[in-house]
Amino acid sequence: MPTLHQTDRNCLVFVEVRERNNQQFGSAAESISPAKVRKLAFSAERFRQAHHALSNMPCRFDIVCIENNELQWTPHACTVD
């Protein structure tokens, strides 16, 4: 699973980290497609099922983009239905 997991107060946070060293294939943020969001949601659900104590905890998805040695953190970056 490429996603990092952490807790923020009473919220389970799934963090996707994307890095780009050049823009040839788009920015780090542009690399997160709707298909990638679905995979993140699937991974999050599997994680929550495997950790029963966390299964009812609210969750959110953050994204960390690294480009040219600069880090940009976007909390609540995407939502999942």
What does the pLDDT profile of the chain (81 residues) look like in tens digits? 345 566 667 788 889 898 887 778 788 888 888 898 899 889 889 998 999 988 888 888 999 999 888 999 999 987 665
Q: What is the DSSP string of 52-73?
A: GGGTTS-EEEEEEEEETTEEEE
Please give the pLDDT value at position 25. 79
Q: How many CB atoms lie within 10 A of CB 24?
A: 6
* Half-sphere exposure for 55 (CA within 13 Å, toward CB): 6
Please give the pLDDT value at position 69. 86
Burial of 61 (0-12, 13-18, 19+ CB in 10 A): buried
- Prediction pTM value: 0.77
Please give the pLDDT value at position 6. 61
Amino acid identity of 67?
A: E
Task: List the domains of the chain with CATH numbers.
Answer: 4-78 (3.40.1350.10)
